Chains A and B, each alone.
Chain A
Amino acid sequence: MSSTHHPAFVHHFENLGEQKEAATFGMWVFIAQEILFFGGLFGAYAVYRNLHPDAFYYGSHHLNIPLGAFNTAVLICSSLTMALGVHAAALGKRTQIVGWLLATVFLGSVFLGIKVVEYKEKFDHHLVPGTSFDASQLHMESIEDPALLAKSQKAAQIYYSLYFAMTGLHALHMIIGIPIILWIAARAWLGQFGPEYHSPVEITGLYWHFVDIVWIFLFPLLYLIPKPH
């Protein structure tokens, strides 16, 4: 039927439905790889937090919980706008797709902007791992055992290494995602998507939601570490 005459139809598929299924499946295989990619970092986090619980607790205390929580809310809003963008695409509402996608880009940019403020704070306070790392910023004096104190002050660099690696990799995913969403928004503006064909919008949404999920775990694990006892 008509689905095989759509301009976006590629002829090695039986029809657009099969084409869409392949696109979704392919994206999920990519996301499965991403899960393991981030999984390695979460594994490293678990191992080192288990080894140095005090370093992680005191290290996390220098993070700004209100900013982290606000950013979590911003990212959840951006997931909603993305979902509504995909919804508009499925209904073929051209200007709505563009509007929701631009809202998603805006919220993603707000998230990154706040991340910049947070990173700058860490640089200002010498909490970036390396020769100028200053553990005295972390106020670990309440650790009574001098051996544990020395060990924890050193291990705080591991916490901050993981903080920058995990949030940095997450931010990189957003930096890659934003131009992709803009490109999809441009294609939507040109009227390339509708009820019959909108897999590019849908699988870009999958990517964006995945990035949201990573942050859903990063926020409590990096910002909200309970006092070990």
Chain B
Amino acid sequence: MTETAAVPAENHDSHEDHAHAHPHVVPVRTYILVFLALMFGTAITVGASYVDFGHSYLNNIVALAIAFSKAALVVLFFMHVKYSSKLTQLAVGSGFAFLVILFFFVFADYLTRGWLGTPGS
């Protein structure tokens, strides 16, 4: 990109800053707390699976809610996304956004097939 080469020192400085800013070193304490939360989440996932919430879909919702919370902790702290650049966060978000699109269209088809009768039968 010839244009960037022409941009004066201003831009250069910000790059230097970036190189130096010792990437946020997360304290060990944070990792330990996240680890304990993940272990706790695993324990309550198993525990909740033995509880009858009245409807099996409620069990599914509880299990998935815990799983998503655990995944969020791993992504934000172990994978440092909380401290990452906006560009990285965008890449992370787009990965999950496309997963939502995939699931939306799969379910829009499969979960609704029985809703309308087939003409002629």
Binding site for B on A (CB under 8 A): 1, 3, 14-18, 20-21, 24-25, 28-29, 31-33, 35-36, 39-40, 42-43, 46-47, 50-51, 53, 65, 69, 72-73, 76-77, 79-80, 82-84, 87, 90-91, 195, 202, 205-206, 209-210, 212-213, 216-217, 219-221, 224, 226-229
Interface residue SS majority, chain B: helix
Contact B95 A90 (CB under 8 A): no
Contact mask for chain B residues 78-106; partner A; CB cutoff 8 A; 1 contact, 0 none: 11100011011001101110110011001
A15-B18, A43-B103, A69-B46 known; A32 vs B75 contact (CB < 8 Å): no
Contact of A47 among B25, B63, B106 (CB under 8 A): B106
Q: How far is the CB of A210 from chain B (nearest CB, A)?
A: 8
**Pairwise interchain contact A206-B79, C-beta atoms closer than 8 A:** yes
Q: Which of A25, A47, A53, A83 has the most CB of B within 10 A?
A: A83
A79 pairs with B102, CB closer than 8 A: no
Minimum distance in angstroms from B55 CB to a CB of chain A: 7
| CB < 8 Å A-B pair total | 147
* B45 and chain A: residue at smallest CB distance: A220
* Chain A residues with CB under 8 A of B26: 87
Enumerate the 7 nearest inter-chain pairs by beta-carbon distance, A residue then B residue, closest first.
A32-B95, A17-B19, A226-B59, A224-B49, A28-B91, A17-B18, A15-B19
Contact assessment for B18 and A18 in the assembled complex, using a CB-CB cutoff below 8 Å:
yes
Closest chain A CB from B24 CB (angstroms): 9
- B66 CB, nearest partner CB in chain A, Å: 8
- In the complex the two chains form, what is the Cα distance from A17 to B12 in whole Å? 12
Q: Is the CB of B15 within 8 A of A15?
A: yes
Q: Are A76 and B39 CB-contacts (below 8 A) given A31-B95, A47-B106, A213-B71? A: yes
Q: Which residues of A contact B88 (CB under 8 A)?
A: 21, 24-25, 28
Please tell me if the beta carbons of B74 and A209 are within 8 angstroms of each other in the complex: yes
Chain A residues with Cβ below 8 Å from B55 are 229
CB distance from A64 to the nearest CB of B (A): 12
Q: A25-B91, A217-B67, A228-B56 are in contact. List 18 more A-B contacts (CB 8 A).
A: A1-B16, A3-B19, A17-B15, A24-B85, A31-B92, A32-B91, A33-B95, A35-B95, A43-B102, A69-B42, A69-B46, A79-B74, A84-B28, A87-B28, A213-B71, A226-B59, A226-B60, A229-B56
Choose one: B31, B63, B80, B85; the contact of A21 (CB below 8 Å). Answer: B85
| Residues of chain A lying within 8 A (CB to CB) of residue B39 | 73, 76
The one of A29, A73, A82, A216 that contacts B91, using a Cβ cutoff of 8 Å: A29
Q: How far is the CA of A217 from the CA of B39 in the complex (A)?
A: 14
Which of B21-72 touch A at CB < 8 Å?
Answer: 21-23, 25-26, 28, 31-32, 35, 38-39, 42, 45-46, 49, 55-56, 59-60, 63-64, 66-67, 70-71
Bound Cα distance from A108 to B61, whole angstroms? 29
Determine if A220 and B56 form an interchain contact, defined as CB atoms under 8 angstroms apart.
no
